[in-house]
Each structure stands twice: as C-alpha cells, then as structure tokens.
Amino acid sequence: MPGREVSAHGSLAEVARRVPKGIICLLSALRYHGLTTQAPFEVWLAIENKALAPKLEYPPLRIVRFSGAALTEGVDEHVVNGVTIRITGVAKTVADCFKYRNKIGLDVALEALCDAWHEKRMTSDEIWRYAKVCRVANVMRPYLEYLTV
C-alpha cells in the first residue's frame, strides 16, 4: 500500500510476528520512541549479517545488517497488539542513527540526539556506551560535548 505510513505499532507487531529474530531499528525505532518527525514508509529491521533477508509483501521492509554487540546490545522487548517486539532502546537507536547517517541523514541523527538528550530519555553513560558499540564515538564526540557543556 504505497504512500501509507507503515511504522504504526500494528505493522511493527506484524513484522515481529513474521520475522521473530529481527530487531526494529533506526527510523522505525525513532518513531516508536517518539523521537522523530519522520514518518517512514518502510519498517527498518536489523538482522544478523549472514541471515537470509526476509521477504514480506506487506509491510515493506528496509533491511540493515548488524553483527556482534551491535546486534545484541541495547535491544528492548515490548508487547504490541499481543506480540513481543524486539526494538532498539533510545540510546542504541540514536547511536545507530549516527552509524547510518549516510542512509537516513545527519539531520535526523542530530534531531534524535537533541530530543532524546533534552527529554532526559538517556544518560551520558548510555549514549557513550552505544556510541562505542556502534563504533561512532569519534563521530558523535563533538555533538555530545556540545550538549554536555
């Protein structure tokens, strides 16, 4: 169904039901956490590096591949429409946005960082931890230093 926002919680539950090892991430996680004005038309889903990409007709998926700690750390579970969804937490999502800034835009990553920081949705220790896990600590350092001054 082109042109329709698919990140509504029902679509997340549907993806989680059909791809139980997948992790909702990036723009879809930002939307779930209320940290973006973006309305993604795909469900962003992290899967293990060597896993086969799931094929769903609907909702459309945007697959990203993670491995090691980047895949396993910072993942929360929530129940949506009776389905347990695995989704990146606030600090991990923000760090992921910096890692994928070339795909989603630096402006989106900065908006998420500022909103999460000002709304006290993450601590300095949490964001630094996930910045290191995602290997973007050097990229994020000037922005984090600006926020913590």
Residue 74's CATH number: 3.30.460
Q: CA separation (Å) from 44 to 9, 82, 140?
A: 13, 20, 22
Domain that holds residue 90: 9-148
Residue 17 lies in a domain: yes
Q: How many domains does the chain have?
A: 1
pLDDT digits (tens, 9 = 90+) for 23-53: 999 999 999 999 988 778 899 999 999 999 9
In this prediction, residue 48 carries a pLDDT of: 94
Assess if residue 42 is contained within a domain.
yes
Residue 80 DSSP label: E
Average pLDDT over residues 113-135: 95
pLDDT in tens, 83-115: 999 999 999 999 999 999 999 999 999 999 999
What pLDDT digit, counting tens, does each position of 46-83 carry? 999 999 999 888 889 999 999 999 999 999 999 988 99
Residue 1 lies in a domain: no
- Give domain status of residue 18, yes or no: yes
Task: For Cα atoms 148, 111, 120, give the angle at the middle one, nearest 5 degrees.
Answer: 50
Whole-angstrom distance, CA of residue 86 vs CA of residue 59? 17
Mean of all residue pLDDT scores within the chain: 90
- The pTM score is 0.90
Has residue 138 got a pLDDT over 80?
yes
Within-domain flag for 3: no
Give a yes or no: residue 22 inside a domain: yes
Residue 64 lies in a domain: yes
Q: Would residue 4 count as lying in a domain?
A: no
C-alpha–C-alpha distance, residues 13 and 112, integer Å: 23
- Full DSSP string of 108-121: HHHHHHHHHHHTT-
